[in-house]
Amino acid sequence: MARDVLRFDQDQHVLELIRSGDRAGLMRLYDDNRRPIVSHVTRNGGSADEAEDVLQESVVIVWEKVRTGGFELTARLTTFTFAVARRLWLRKLAQHRREPAVDLDPDGLSDDPQAEPPDVDERIDSMRLAFDRLGEPCRTLLLLFYWEELTMAEVARQLGFANADVAKAKKYQCKEQLRRLMAGDDRD
């Protein structure tokens, strides 16, 4: 029981850091969730790069949800973040079955296991800054799709797109824009 109270206090502390925009909260969220999320994705058919992408997307989604004030802690923060990552990975797996594989490596990351891993602090900063700079309607579209788990038809309706196909094409463009921003490419 005392352990649960301690964990709840720690989660509340992380949430307060995030709400105040403190980078330490983002780093803690990333660090606390890295091992279980990377393990889950790689055990379920994902590469190390895909696992890192899912981790980053999950952390961004939780960060944004907390920062916008619509988050109420009802479980451990790691449990919630893992659930977000699990849903993202299931979506990605389903998408891989529907779409032909495309070999994109916008981050220039190597698949070489001997390669030096990117600095975690830099990746977190890059991710946060890129999402902050993403702009509308991309930020809203990605949040609606990944966080609110709306279908493309629902996203299209909410954002005033002609149909789900237009929303899907825009989602792809937004994800590419986010990747470019994370890589430091300011074209747009």
The per-residue pLDDT for 54 is: 92
Asked whether the beta carbons of 60 and 31 are under 8 A apart, the reply is no
pTM above 0.75, yes or no: no
Neighbours of 177 (CB within 10 A): 19
Q: What is the pLDDT along the chain (188 residues), one digit of tens a residue?
A: 455 555 667 888 989 998 888 888 888 989 999 999 999 999 988 899 899 999 999 988 888 888 887 778 888 889 889 999 999 998 888 877 654 444 334 444 444 444 444 556 666 667 777 878 888 888 888 888 877 778 889 888 988 988 988 888 888 888 888 888 877 765 54
Instruction: State the Cα–Cα distance between residues 154 and 149, nearest whole angstrom.
Output: 10
The per-residue pLDDT for 142 is: 83
Say whether 29 sits in a helix, a strand or coil. Answer: helix
- Chain centroid to Cα 51, Å, comes to 11
Instruction: State the Cα–Cα distance between residues 12 and 1, nearest whole angstrom.
Output: 17
User: If one looks up domain 1-93+121-133 in CATH, what number appears?
Assistant: 1.10.1740
Please name the residue ranges forming H helices in 20-111: 23-43, 48-67, 77-98
